């Protein structure tokens, strides 16, 4: 590629802009102007959601955060569609507790249903108000008025009125009614289109995009000293020599919370490493380790919850009964970027920049943890490298707040290390799932019993009452009480998410045993219990199909009454060329899995094609998926979510497991917690079924369970070996 001197200098200038941009680009976070934003009201007001600005821009605020799922782009499409303005006019704000609507957490693949619906209604109401203002100005009725890119048309002809002349800089001063006329779907021009995501260009061109890019004047750096696993008390630490190390500003100790502040980042790293070598932590004798956790779950003290029970008036003639047990280990979020935060304490008010999934719940939890009033704390979302549930982001935010309050007037940037992340973050709970089914004389399922053993799947620090779930709150000299064990109810469920089969079965009994005290810290990991439950159900469905001498697709279709589910399965069967599936035991395996996420969100079916070698190695060749997500806002976004879910599930199912022993987590880095590598990723094809007449449905966590089961079923088809415990490793294949 040839480059002229002028082009090279021009490129260099661009690079200079990019290097300078972290400070400049973050002015929006450090200098908001809520007073001019018109957002002093609650979520029910139009002004909370939309602002008409000078320069032909429309600013949309929502309470759902962006962490790579493309939600800001989809919400911008919904807003532009409902307002009849060009997509390029929409500007999305970050979530900031000083002016954004409070939409709790961004989780559970429900952002489009929740925030999308709210943005849609707010924009529809704003459009009606603007049309009425135009009618008053033009002395006409609204009946003949329409809008084209914000310009008011009368009888199809442009007028002098437009959104910006009608309302520039002013508030709507109106509520969003429960019922508002929204655009008919047949008139959509933006929703359903593959519009490029708003966040991609800055990332491609190396502009400031992530929390770690933030630079504030006078910023100092903090590092933590953590125990080898959570829950251990600090008995002794030698801090005297640390204070004299180069650049060290201070050492903070509050109970078992230990941190170092320094002028430069590497100085903080060096000081924390030296301080860690002097620490003595409480020792523990645990009953469990990585090898026996599945069996231990079944004997541990637990609270029992009936999930569902259904009986039939007609007793089926069961001719064959099968049972099986499946399990998954503790899983890490394993975000590529470790958790981080930035905080500033001015002596009266605390500002915290975080990549957590809920700024309002985080604000309440931090305020309680550091003994401030909620209105003294401001939390601002800044994207980082992936969350996938409740990882260390909230803890890092509180850690940064504590450090900043010890140094008024100076911003503190706090970065967890990779080891901090693996040993400190909440993990996805280990799970054991037992299944039992009775087949009748026709090979149909007459009864189904499922029992789930797991820890809780949510210890989020949800506001002041949940502050005790923060690591700092547990570690400080006067710890806060831990909130009571939480069982997430159906239909979403926690450990029991997707534990109720979608299939038509006369008798069903599903029970959940929620273990009261887990050996490791646990919370929400992407899809919660759905991954293990769908893995178990869909693996067992293949085992039942084999016992019935039925094709896996035909067996499932025979047990479905949901036409949309059947359509997805039939389409995937055709797309995957299933009729040409190779003979079993040849080393080439084809397997399938299916679920309706949470039994109320997207339908997703996956076929995995793989090879199993004589040594038990598994090579993924291809993954094919068909998805029905109802009305799709951005098909590229849906496709990316399904593709990402498939790749993540491949990694979970074949590679991932947190290894630990009494007193310490052994999985501390990528060598001790291997994940799927790029060469191991299969080719992925995703087809989206157009269901524009139906409501939009969540997709972000829909592919994980079906993919896991498809892999297990493909391995069984390839070599006749049924592995029921993830990860499915060569050792397990050879030992089964």
For residue 124, give the H/E element and its range. helix 117-138
**Which pLDDT band holds residue 42 (cuts at 50, 70, 90)?**
confident
Whole-number Cα distances in Å, 299 to 318, 331, 487, 517 = 30, 21, 19, 12
710: tokens are: 């498809």
Q: Label the pairing between strands 257-262 and 57-60.
A: unpaired
How many Å apart are CA 17 and CA 123, to the nearest integer? 35
Whether the Cβ atoms of residue 625 and residue 686 lie closer than 8 Å to each other: yes
A 10 A CB-CB count for 441 gives: 11
**Which pLDDT band holds residue 164 (cuts at 50, 70, 90)?**
very high
Whole-number Cα distances in Å, 161 to 47, 64, 135, 701 = 21, 33, 9, 45
Alpha helices in 370-415 (DSSP H): 393-405
A 10 A CB-CB count for 416 gives: 25
Burial of 116 (0-12, 13-18, 19+ CB in 10 A): buried
Whole-number Cα distances in Å, 290 to 188, 420, 427, 659, 662 = 52, 19, 13, 5, 10
Residue 349 has pLDDT above 70, yes or no: yes
- Please report how the helices 530-547 and 635-654 are oriented relative to each other, as an axis angle in degrees rounded to 10: 80
**Which pLDDT band holds residue 383 (cuts at 50, 70, 90)?**
very high
- Provide the CA 288 distance to its chain's centre, in angstroms: 29
Q: Which CATH architecture has domain 32-204?
A: 2-Layer Sandwich (3.30)
Tens digit of each residue's pLDDT (9 = 90 or more) over 708-732:
999 999 999 999 999 999 999 999 9
**For residue 383, which of 214, 205, 634, 636 has the smallest C-alpha distance?**
214
**Cα atoms in the 13 Å half-sphere on the side-chain side of 581:** 23
144: tokens are: 């003949």
Q: What share of the chain is helix, strand, coil (3-state, %, to 5)?
A: 35, 25, 45
Q: Which CATH architecture has domain 428-457+493-735?
A: 2-Layer Sandwich (3.30)
How many Å apart are CA 385 and CA 392, to the nearest integer? 12
Q: What is the pTM of this model?
A: 0.93
What is the arithmetic mean of pLDDT over 443-452?
97
**Cα atoms in the 13 Å half-sphere on the side-chain side of 92:** 27
Whether the Cβ atoms of residue 732 and residue 604 lie closer than 8 Å to each other: no
Whether the Cβ atoms of residue 59 and residue 168 lie closer than 8 Å to each other: no
Alpha helices in 205-319 (DSSP H): 265-276, 293-297
How many Å apart are CA 63 and CA 379, to the nearest integer? 12
How many Å apart are CA 469 and CA 484, to the nearest integer? 10
The DSSP letter of residue 392 is S
pLDDT of residue 33: 32
Residue 1 has pLDDT above 50, yes or no: no
pLDDT of residue 25: 32
**Which pLDDT band holds residue 21 (cuts at 50, 70, 90)?**
very low
CB neighbour list of residue 592: distance below 8 Å, 6 or more residues apart:
538, 552, 553, 572, 576, 578, 605, 606, 607, 608, 706, 709, 710, 713
What is the arithmetic mean of pLDDT over 456-474?
97
Whole-number Cα distances in Å, 410 to 374, 418, 474 = 21, 26, 26
Least confident residue range of 227-231, 265-269, 436-440, 509-513: 227-231
DSSP string, 555-576: HHHTT---HHHHHHHHHHHHHT
Q: Is 248 helix (H, G, I), strand (E, B) or coil?
A: strand
Alpha helices in 551-664 (DSSP H): 552-557, 563-575, 635-654
Share of the chain above pLDDT 90, in %: 84
In the block, residue with structure tokens 């630990």:
660
For residue 254, give the H/E element and its range. strand 248-254
- Please report how the helices 393-405 and 359-369 are oriented relative to each other, as an axis angle in degrees rounded to 10: 40
For residue 20, give the H/E element and its range. helix 5-25
Tens digit of each residue's pLDDT (9 = 90 or more) over 103-120:
989 887 788 888 999 999
**For residue 422, which of 305, 334, 512, 361 has the smallest C-alpha distance?**
334
Radius of gyration of the chain measured on its C-alpha atoms: 27
Domain chopping of the chain, boundaries: 1-25, 32-204, 211-282+333-424, 428-457+493-735
CATH topology identical between 211-282+333-424 and 428-457+493-735? yes
For CA atoms 422, 424, 426, 431, the dihedral sign is positive
How many Å apart are CA 548 and CA 444, to the nearest integer? 8
A 10 A CB-CB count for 291 gives: 11
For residue 304, give the H/E element and its range. strand 302-310
**For residue 188, which of 633, 697, 695 has the smallest C-alpha distance?**
633
Long-range contacts of range 310-316, CB-CB < 8 Å, 24 or more positions apart? Answer: 310/505, 310/506, 310/507, 310/508, 310/509, 311/506, 311/507, 312/506, 312/507, 314/506, 316/438, 316/440, 316/446, 316/447, 316/506, 316/507
Residue 31 has pLDDT above 60, yes or no: no
Burial of 348 (0-12, 13-18, 19+ CB in 10 A): exposed
Q: Is 69 helix (H, G, I), strand (E, B) or coil?
A: coil
pLDDT of residue 595: 98
pLDDT of residue 22: 32
How many Å apart are CA 334 and CA 199, to the nearest integer? 22
Whether the Cβ atoms of residue 612 and residue 600 lie closer than 8 Å to each other: no
Q: pLDDT averaged over the chain?
A: 92
What is the arithmetic mean of pLDDT over 189-213?
92
What is the arithmetic mean of pLDDT over 635-660?
97
Tens digit of each residue's pLDDT (9 = 90 or more) over 316-344:
789 999 999 999 999 999 999 999 999 99
Whether the Cβ atoms of residue 449 and residue 250 lie closer than 8 Å to each other: no
How many Å apart are CA 181 and CA 124, to the nearest integer? 7
Q: Is 518 helix (H, G, I), strand (E, B) or coil?
A: coil
Q: Is 379 helix (H, G, I), strand (E, B) or coil?
A: strand
> Which parts of 350-488 are beta strand (E)?
350-354, 377-381, 412-415, 427-428, 431-440, 445-454
363: tokens are: 């604000």
**Which pLDDT band holds residue 170 (cuts at 50, 70, 90)?**
confident
Whether the Cβ atoms of residue 645 and residue 69 lie closer than 8 Å to each other: no
In the block, residue with structure tokens 């600013």:
59
Whether the Cβ atoms of residue 435 and residue 324 lie closer than 8 Å to each other: yes
205: tokens are: 């061109």
Measure CA of the first residue to CA of the last residue in the chain; give whole Å. 55
490: tokens are: 């159906």
Strand order in the sheet with 302-310: 302-310, 507-515, 445-454, 431-440, 318-328
pLDDT of residue 691: 84
How many Å apart are CA 97 and CA 95, to the nearest integer? 7
More confident call, 386 vs 126: 126
211-282+333-424 classified as CATH 3.30.365.10: yes
- Compute, in degrees rounded to 10, the torsion defined by CA atoms 328, 431, 428, 515: -160
How many Å apart are CA 216 and CA 212, to the nearest integer? 11
How many Å apart are CA 625 and CA 628, to the nearest integer? 10
């Amino acid at each position: 590629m040839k480059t002229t001197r002028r082009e090279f200098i021009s490129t260099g200038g661009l690079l200079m802009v990019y290097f300078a941009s972290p400070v400049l680009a973050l002015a929006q976070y450090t200098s908001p102007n809520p007073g001019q934003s018109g957002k002093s009201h609650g979520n029910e007001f139009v002004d909370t959601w939309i602002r008409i600005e000078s320069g032909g821009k429309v600013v949309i605020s929502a309470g759902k955060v962006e962490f790579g799922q493309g939600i800001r782009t989809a919400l911008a499409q919904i807003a532009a569609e409902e307002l009849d303005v060009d997509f390029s006019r929409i500007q999305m704000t970050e979530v900031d507790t000083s002016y954004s609507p409070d939409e709790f957490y961004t989780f559970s693949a429900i952002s489009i249903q929740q925030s999308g619906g709210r943005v849609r209604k707010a924009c529809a109401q704003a459009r009606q108000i603007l049309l009425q203002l135009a009618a008053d100005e033009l002395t006409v009725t609204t009946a003949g008025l329409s809008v084209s890119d914000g310009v008011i048309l009368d009888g199809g002809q442009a007028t002098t009125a437009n959104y910006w002349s009608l309302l520039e800089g002013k508030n709507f001063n109106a509520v969003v009614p429960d019922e508002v006329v929204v655009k008919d779907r047949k008139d959509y021009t933006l929703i359903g289109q593959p519009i490029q995501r708003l966040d991609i260009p800055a990332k491609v061109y190396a502009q400031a995009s992530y929390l770690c890019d933030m630079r504030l004047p006078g910023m100092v750096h903090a590092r933590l000293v953590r125990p080898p696993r959570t829950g251990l008390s600090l008995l002794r630490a030698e801090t005297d020599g640390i204070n004299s190390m180069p650049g060290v500003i201070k050492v903070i100790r509050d109970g078992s919370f230990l941190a170092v502040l320094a002028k430069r980042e590497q100085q903080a790293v060096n000081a924390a490493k030296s301080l860690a070598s002097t620490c003595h932590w409480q020792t523990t004798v645990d009953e469990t380790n990585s090898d026996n956790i599945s069996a231990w779950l079944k004997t541990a003290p637990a609270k029992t919850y009936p999930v569902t029970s259904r009986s039939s008036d007609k007793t089926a003639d069961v001719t064959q009964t099968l049972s099986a047990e499946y399990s998954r280990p503790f899983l890490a979020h394993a975000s590529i970027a470790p958790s981080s935060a930035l905080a500033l304490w001015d002596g009266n008010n605390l500002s915290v920049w975080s990549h957590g999934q809920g700024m309002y719940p985080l604000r309440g939890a931090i305020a309680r943890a550091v003994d401030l009033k909620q209105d003294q704390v401001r939390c601002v979302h800044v994207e980082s490298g992936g969350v996938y549930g409740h990882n260390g982001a909230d803890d890092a935010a509180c850690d940064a707040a504590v450090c900043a309050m010890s140094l008024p007037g100076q911003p503190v940037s706090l970065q967890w290390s990779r080891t901090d992340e693996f040993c400190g973050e909440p993990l996805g709970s280990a799970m054991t799932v037992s299944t039992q089914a009775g087949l009748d004389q026709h090979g149909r399922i007459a009864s189904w019993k499922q029992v789930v053993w797991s820890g809780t799947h949510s210890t989020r620090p949800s506001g002041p009452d949940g502050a005790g779930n923060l690591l700092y709150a547990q570690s400080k000299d006067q710890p806060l009480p831990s909130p009571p064990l939480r069982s997430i109810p159906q239909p979403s469920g926690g450990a029991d998410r997707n534990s109720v089969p979608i299939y038509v079965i006369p008798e069903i009994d599903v029970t959940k045993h929620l273990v009261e005290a887990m050996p490791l810290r646990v919370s929400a990991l992407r899809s919660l219990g759905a991954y293990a439950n769908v893995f178990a159900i869909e693996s067992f469905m293949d085992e039942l199909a084999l016992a019935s001498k039925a094709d896996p697709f035909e067996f499932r279709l025979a047990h479905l009454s949901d036409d949309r589910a059947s359509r997805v399965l039939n389409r995937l069967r055709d797309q995957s060329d299933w009729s040409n599936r190779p003979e079993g035991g040849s080393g080439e395996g084809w397997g399938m899995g299916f679920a309706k996420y949470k039994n109320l969100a997207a339908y997703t079916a996956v076929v995995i094609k793989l090879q199993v070698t004589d040594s038990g190695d598994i090579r993924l060749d291809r993954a094919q998926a068909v998805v029905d997500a109802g009305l799709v806002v951005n098909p590229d976004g849906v496709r990316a979510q399904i593709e990402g879910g498939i790749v993540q599930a491949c990694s979970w199912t074949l590679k991932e497991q947190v290894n630990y022993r009494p007193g310490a987590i052994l999985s501390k880095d990528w060598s001790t917690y291997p994940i799927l590598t790029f060469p191991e990723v299969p080719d992925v094809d995703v087809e989206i079924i157009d269901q524009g007449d139906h409501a939009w449905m969540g997709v972000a966590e829909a592919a994980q369970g079906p993919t896991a089961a498809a892999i297990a079923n493909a391995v069984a088809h390839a070599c006749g070996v049924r592995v029921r415990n993830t990860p499915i490793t060569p050792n397990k294949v050879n030992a089964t």
